[in-house]
Chains A and B, each alone.
Chain A
Amino acid sequence: MSHRAVERAVRDSYGRLLAYLSMRSRDVAAAEDALADAFHAALETWPHSGVPERPEAWLLTAARRRLIDGARHARVQAAALPLLQAAAEEASELMGSAAGFPDERLGLLFVCAHPAIAVTARTPLMLQTVLGLDAARIASAFLLKPSAMGQRLARAKAKIRDARIAFELPEAAELPPRLDAVLEAIYAAYGSGWEDVAGADPRRRGLAAEALELGRLLVRLMPEEPEALGLLALMLYCESRRDARRGLSGEYIPLSEQETARWSGSMMTEAERLLHAAAGMKRTGRFQLEAAIQSAHAERARTGRTDWEAVALLYEGLARSTPTIGALVGRAAANAEARGADAGWRLLQEIRGDAVLNYQPYWALAAHLLRLLGREDEAVAAYGRAIRLCQDQAMRGFLALQAVRSDGRVW
């Protein structure tokens, strides 16, 4: 059994195990430490013995020992000890029973979104605990230094433990105010898995699948919440195109050139149904708008063309309600398609702030539009910038091909 396969098996159960242990010890950091020990033991044992039939129960048994020992030593944690012992008994029952392992990830997500936790720590905390992203990756997604993000996360976990925040799924009335942070975290996790187009990193490929799973759980928990439906629809539209994003030799294929036959019809149908149901609830929002944009793109599978005017209009709404840099760049791109490069360039120029300096899609679009406007030297410089900012091999190759001067000279 390879080291990698063990890592994969361990990763698949990370969120569920951490949620289970945290909900019982009320101490996220201690649960993380205990789990890290258990995983370490698994990496030593499983390559020889194979992955046990119930990997979660095995890991849980290893982790609870350490947690209970830790709790005995720390006086502050005395209150958690009975909870942990009960959990240990429950765990050994689970070892012997055929029942599924309890999934409390949503509960932990909503604990992380508690109003007593600093607003800026909520989404990063969910990404780290339930979704198992490391602090360095989260820091880069939030444009922070890893040390600063590490401190922010440590403070939040100390607050949860020391102030003893309740570890229960909040009552129905408490859910909606916490929902935004939960939606944001699930989407960020999906995005992180999605960016790894090549599937080179199995950890991250698993992340997209896990985000989808959480999206489904959330819809089950809050079926009347249109934004939860919108998020799941959005992820499904993106997921439906996973295979079409790459050519035979692994090259990047932009959305407008993808073969629609390679899109997953069943996922698009499910997404459409969700979006339709969300629209019926008459409370629009960011994720429904983003899903609607993807729905407009999906129409090409039926009609053979993209209605850029419709896409541009949807981006207009998104840019107004949620003016993130992604939405603003998307609006400029859609306007360029619908109304010409001039219109797109004007909108792109309006985006202010330092955020654009290191935002790869901004420079890729700028390069494309500058070329259409006949400003070849500036276009080549912008392509160079986009390539330097690009993390993905195939995408870099695509940009490098585009960067070849229109007169055929290689820059």
Chain B
Amino acid sequence: MNYTLLFYESPESLAARSDPAQRQAFWLAFGHYIQALRDAGVHAGGAGLQLPETATTIVYRDGERLVQDGPYADTKEQLGGFVIINVPDLDTALEWAARCPTAPGRAIEVRPNLAPME
């Protein structure tokens, strides 16, 4: 069964991705993590996302389509990336989520994917 791990990042954690003093450690840790998922044969896709400021959101209001600058959710924590893993059950998915590199303010939401459409 596929699960998506959604990585929500605090502003500090997002800033670390490009901060010269921290960026190397940040990407190294994530690189190891993704490699571990691949080695275990559970990695089924995913991507890191560019910063929320780069986002554009389409919303429908009163039947009208509006294109807006910025991410959809106006919250402090923002989606930083996601990984899809293929594991037998939620408990295994949670184990993998727990192994991801830690960062202050990082939260990982684990959602089961819908079965693919036939």
A contacts, CB < 8 Å to B: 75-76, 78-79, 116, 162-167, 170
Contact = CB atoms under 8 A, between A and B. Distances in A.
Q: Label chain B's interface by main secondary structure.
A: mixed
A166 B115 contact: no
A163 B90 contact: yes
B2 to A, nearest CB: 11
A163 B112 CA distance: 5
Contacts of A167: 89
Interface string B90-114: 1110100000000000000010100
A375 B56 CA distance: 73
Contacts of B115: 75-76, 78
A170 B91 CA distance: 10
B49 interface: no
18 contacts: A75-B115, A75-B118, A78-B115, A79-B1, A116-B90, A116-B94, A162-B112, A163-B90, A163-B110, A163-B112, A165-B89, A166-B88, A166-B89, A166-B90, A166-B91, A166-B92, A167-B89, A170-B91
Q: Label chain A's interface by main secondary structure.
A: loop
A-B complex: 8 closest residue pairs judged by Cβ atoms? A166-B91, A166-B89, A163-B90, A165-B90, A164-B89, A163-B112, A164-B90, A164-B1
Interface in B45-94: 88-92, 94
A163 B118 CA distance: 20
Nearest to A160: B90
A165 B112 contact: no
Contacts of A75: 115, 118
Contacts of B88: 164, 166
A79 B113 CA distance: 14
Query: Which of the listed residues B1, B91, B94, B115 has the most CB atoms from chain A within 10 Å of its own CB?
Result: B91
A167 B1 CA distance: 15
Query: Which of the listed residues A76, A164, A165 has the most CB atoms from chain B within 10 Å of its own CB?
Result: A164
A242 B115 CA distance: 53
A75 B114 CA distance: 11
Contacts of A165: 89-91
A118 to B, nearest CB: 14
Nearest to B1: A164
Query: Which of the listed residues A75, A162, A163 has the most CB atoms from chain B within 10 Å of its own CB?
Result: A163
A116 to B, nearest CB: 6
